[in-house]
Structure 1
Amino acid sequence: MTSTLIRNCAVLVTPDSGDCSVQDAQDIHITDGTISAITPTRQTPPSDAEVLDATGLLAIPGLTNAHTHTPMVLMRGAAEDLSLDNWFNQKIWPMETNLTPERVRIGARLACAEMLLSGITSFADHYFHADQVAQAAAELGIRADLAPTFFTSTGPEAREASFDTARQIRALSNPRITASLGPHAPYTVSEEDLTRTAEVARSENFRIHLHAAETQEQTTSSLTHHNATPIRLLHRTGILEAGAHLAHACALADEDVTLLAQHADRTVIATCPKIYLKLAMGNTTPIRSLQAAGIPISIGTDGAAAHNTQDMWESLRLTALTEKHKEQDATWMSLSQTLRLATHPNTLTPGHPADITLVDLSAPHNQPLHNPLAALVYSIRPADVIHVLVAGHLVVHNQSLTTADLPEILNQANEVADSLVTLTTPDTIQHYAP
C-alpha cells in the first residue's frame, strides 16, 4: 500500500450541478492511487505518508483534453492562413504521407509533455500508429484513450489493421491506457465500413471516436449523397448505439439532437472552439441545445497543426467566450459550467482516482484574487501549474517532468520535424471533398 498526503492546499469542489467552490486549508489523502479522504489540514501529518507540501496552491481535478491528435504537434505552425479545404489538401494530408511510427512516437512524447506541464492528466487521441502514442503516454504517465484512425480509401486491410491496433493497446493491460475504434469521419468512411466498425465495437466492447458534422458543407453533402445527415448516418449504421465519442458536431439539424438524445447515456461530444475560429468553419458546437437534451459535452484542443498548442486553459476560455457571444447571453457558460466541462470526469472526491493538478495563482496576471474560479477560466496560464499527479503518481514536480527528460524530448522533435512537414512529392493520404 502506498500513501501520499497533499498537505495544506485549497481544493476546488466541482459538484455535478450548481456552483463550484473552493475550500481552504485542506489535506488530500491518497492511497494506492485513489483519493481516500479530504480533511482540514492537521498540524502533524501522518508518519507513514509521503508528504507533498502544497501551501499556497490550489488543487483542481486534472484537466481532460477530450479530442486531439497528439503527434500533430510536429506540424505546429506549418499550415497557417489557409481555408479548411486547402489546409487539408495542400498541407496536412500531404504531410501525413511522411508519417512513420518513430515520428508519431516522438510527436506524441512532446505533446504528452506539453499536456502534463499545463495540468492535463488525460486525453482522447485519434491518430495513425496509435500503438506508438500508447508507448509515449505510458512512458510519461498520462492517462489516455487512443483511437487508431482509418479511411475507407486505404482499403479493408487498413480498417482491420486499425481494429487490431486497438486490440493490441487494450492487451497492454495498462490501467491508464484504454482504446477506442477510430474511423475518421462519415465523409471519409463508407457506410459499409461504419457498419462494420459498429459491429466490432458492440461485440468487443469498444467505444468509437470519430469526427462528425464539422461544417454545414459536410452536413449538406451528406444529405445529397446519403439522404441523411452525418448524425442520421451514424444512427443507421449502429455507431450511436455502440457508443460514440464525437468530435465537433457543429452543423446539426434539429432531428440530430433528438437522435443523439436517444443515446445520451453512451454519447459524448467534444468541442474545440479555437479551430472553428481559426479555420473559419462557420459554426461552433451547439452546446446549449445539446446540454438541454441531456447530451454530455467535453472540451478538447484538437491537433496542434490547427490549434498550435495543447493548452486546455485556452480551450476552456474560448468555450466560455464563444458561447456567451453566440447565445448573446453573458450569464450562460458560467465559470462553474466551464470548469465542469474541462475537468469531467475527474473530481476531487474520495473514491475517485487521484488525478490532480496543483496551481499557483499568485502571479500578477491572477492578482488580486477576488474570485479563484474566474482566475481559472479567464486568467491562468500553463506556467502557473506547479505539480501534477496521475493515479497518485507525481508526474510533474515543481514545474518539471519526473518521468522523462524534457530537453531530450525537444531535441528529438526538432530533429524530425522538418522531414515530416517538407513536401517532396505530390502524394496525399486523402483528398478533402465532403
Structure 2
Amino acid sequence: MTGLLIRDVSVLIVPVVGECRVDEAQDIYVQDSRITAITPTGPVTAGEWEVIDGSGLVAVPGLVNSHTHSPMVMMRGAAEDLSIDDWFNQRIWPMEVNLTPERVRVGARLACAEMLLAGVTTFVDHYFHADQIAAAAVESGIRADLAPTYFSSAGPEAIDAAIATARELSTLDSRITASLGPHATYTVNDDDLRRTADIAQAEGFRIHLHAAETDDQTQSSVDKYGVTPMQVLERTGVLEAGTLIAHGCGIRESDLPILERYADRVTVASCPKVYLKLAMGEVTPIKGLQAAGVRVGVGTDGAAVHNTLDVWESLRMVALTQKQREHDAEWMPLSDIIRLATRGGAAAAGLADSIGALEPGRQADIVLVDLSKPHNQPIHDPRAALVYSVRASDVVTVVVDGNVVVRDRRLTTMDLDEVLADARALAHTLVDLSQGGAVQHYAP
C-alpha cells in the first residue's frame, strides 16, 4: 500500500507543556491514516510513497474549530450591528424558521470548504439537521463532531429525534463522532438536561451546549433559580457525563471549584470575536479555567456573527483579549495559544489522544503553511508568525486522516465553483423574514 511522505518540511512541535518549537528539515511519514515517523530529512525509507515537497513550508497540526454552527455561513453578513437580544430575536431565530435539509447541507458544504482551505481539519458543530452536516463532512473529507440541537420548547418528540440522529451519526464514518446537543441551560429545562445526561452516560456520548455565555445570563439564572448555570449543569448530571461548554464568559470565580471536580471530562470553547462584536461584556475566563485544570479550545461560533470560520483569526483574538482581560502582556504567550488551537481543540472535540499534535501514532491531520509572503516576513520567530501574522490564504496543502484534501490551495474532494454557486442560489431563501415566527425567543 502506498503511503504519504512529506519531504524536507519544517515541523511545529506542540508538547503537552512547555515551549513549542519548529524543527527544520524533517520528513513526515504517513501510513494507514496515521503518522508513522518524523525524521530528519535523509534517504527515503523503503516502500511506496506519494511524495509532497514540503521545502519552504511549515507543517502544523490541523486546526480545530472547537465550537461552530457551520450552516450559518448562509447568514453571513445578514445580522450586523445588533444587540445580542435583537441578533437572536429579530434576525437569527426568525431566519431559522426557513431551515430545510437542503439548505443546511448546502451551507455545510460551503463551511467545510472554507475551513479546509484555511487549515481547519476538525470542527465541533452544534446545529439542526445534523445528518446533512455529516453528509457534507464525509464528502469533503474533514473530521467532525456533530451535536444535533434541541430546545425544550420543541417538545419531547423533537428531542427524541435529535438524540436518535446522534445515535445514527456515531456509526456513519470513522471521521464523524456525535455528541448530544441541548441548546443551553436557559432553553432546555432541568428535566430534559437530566435525561440528556442519563443517556450520555449510558451510551457513551458527550454533551455539547451553551452555558453562562454572558454574566447577564448567569445573573438571570441566579435571580430566577438561585443557582448559576454551572450549578445547573452539576445538579442535572451534565458535568458528570462529560461536556463541552460553549463560551462560558459568565463563569464566576465561585463556579471554578465545581468545574475542577469534573476537569477530566469538561472542556470550554472560546470564540472571542463574537463577544466583542455583540458587546457581551466579558470573555472566557481562561486563566481561571486552566488553574482549575479545565482544558480550553478555540472556536469561531457561527459565521452569522463571526463572519468567517477562520481559526487563525480566532486564535490571535483569544491571545489579545486574554492579555487585555488579565491586564498582563505576558499572559497567553505564543506556545500557550498554539496549544489551545491544537491540543485544546482536540480535547474539545473529544479526540485528545488522536489529533492535536504531529507525533508518531496520531492521526495524520497535517497542514502545510507558506510563511514567505510579505505579511509574514522577515521571520524572527515562526511561532509569532503563526499566531499574529498568518492568513488563511497562506495554507497550501491539507491532509486529513492521511488523505490530501487540499493540494496547492485547491480542494481535491469538492468542486468549489459548484459549492459557491449552490450557496449563492439558496442563501436568499434562508435570510427571508417574510414568513414570520421564530424557532425560539431569547430571554434568558
Fold match by TM threshold 0.5: yes
Partner in structure 2 of residue 331 of structure 1: 330
Deviations 1:175-200 (A, max 9, x none): 10000000000000011110110011
Q: Distance in 1 between matches of 2:158 and 2:223?
A: 27
- State whether structure 2 residue 377 is matched by structure 1 residue 367: yes
Q: Distance in 2 between matches of 1:118 and 1:431?
A: 34
Q: Distance in 2 between matches of 1:426 and 1:282?
A: 31
Deviations 1:90-128 (A, max 9, x none): 000000000000000000000000000000000100000
Partner in structure 2 of residue 387 of structure 1: 397
Partner in structure 2 of residue 139 of structure 1: 139
Q: Please state how far the C-alpha of 1:425 moved relative to its aligned partner.
A: 2.4
Q: Give secondary structure in 2 for the equivalent of 1:180.
A: strand
Structure 1 letter corresponding to 2:214: T
Unpaired runs of 5+ in structure 1? none
Deviations 1:234-279 (A, max 9, x none): 1000000000000001112222111111000000000000000000
Within a 5 Å distance, the mapping from 1:275-354 to structure 2 comes to 275-344=274-343, 345=346, 346-354=356-364
Partner in structure 2 of residue 378 of structure 1: 388
Which stretch has the larger CA shift, 375-384 or 344-353? Answer: 344-353
Q: Please state how far the C-alpha of 1:227 moved relative to its aligned partner.
A: 1.6
Q: Please state how far the C-alpha of 1:42 moved relative to its aligned partner.
A: 1.5
Contact 2:182 2:208 in 1 (8 A): yes
Q: Distance in 2 between matches of 1:44 and 1:264?
A: 43
Contact 2:366 2:398 in 1 (8 A): yes
Q: Please state how far the C-alpha of 1:225 moved relative to its aligned partner.
A: 2.1
Q: Distance in 1 between matches of 2:149 and 2:44?
A: 52
Partner in structure 2 of residue 4 of structure 1: 4
Partner in structure 1 of residue 166 of structure 2: 166
Q: Give secondary structure in 2 for the equivalent of 1:171.
A: coil
Task: Determine what percentage of the aligned residue pairs are the same residue.
Answer: 60
Q: Distance in 2 between matches of 1:254 and 1:240?
A: 17
Deviations 1:60-82 (A, max 9, x none): 00000000000000000000000
Q: Give secondary structure in 2 for the equivalent of 1:269.
A: strand
Which stretch has the larger CA shift, 113-122 or 40-49? Answer: 40-49
Partner in structure 2 of residue 425 of structure 1: 435
Within a 5 Å distance, the mapping from 1:164-313 to structure 2 comes to 164-172=164-172, 174-313=173-312
TM-score (norm 2): 0.96
Structure 2 letter corresponding to 1:392: G
Q: Distance in 1 between matches of 2:357 and 2:239?
A: 27
Structure 2 letter corresponding to 1:296: R
Deviations 1:39-78 (A, max 9, x none): 1112556451111111111000000000000000000000
Q: Please state how far the C-alpha of 1:343 moved relative to its aligned partner.
A: 1.0
Partner in structure 2 of residue 109 of structure 1: 109
Q: What is the root-mean-square deviation of aligned Cα atoms in Å?
A: 0.8
Unpaired runs of 5+ in structure 2? 347-355
Q: Distance in 2 between matches of 1:166 and 1:225?
A: 32
Q: Distance in 2 between matches of 1:317 and 1:65?
A: 14
Q: Give secondary structure in 2 for the equivalent of 1:22.
A: strand
Partner in structure 1 of residue 35 of structure 2: 35
Q: Please state how far the C-alpha of 1:293 moved relative to its aligned partner.
A: 1.0
Q: Give secondary structure in 1 for the equivalent of 2:337.
A: helix
TM-score (norm 1): 0.99
Q: Distance in 2 between matches of 1:160 and 1:225?
A: 28
Deviations 1:201-257 (A, max 9, x none): 011110000000001111111112222100100100000000000000111222211
* Deviating 4+ runs (over 6 angstroms): none
Partner in structure 2 of residue 21 of structure 1: 21
Q: Give secondary structure in 2 for the equivalent of 1:55.
A: coil
Structure 1 letter corresponding to 2:29: H
Contact 2:2 2:47 in 1 (8 A): no
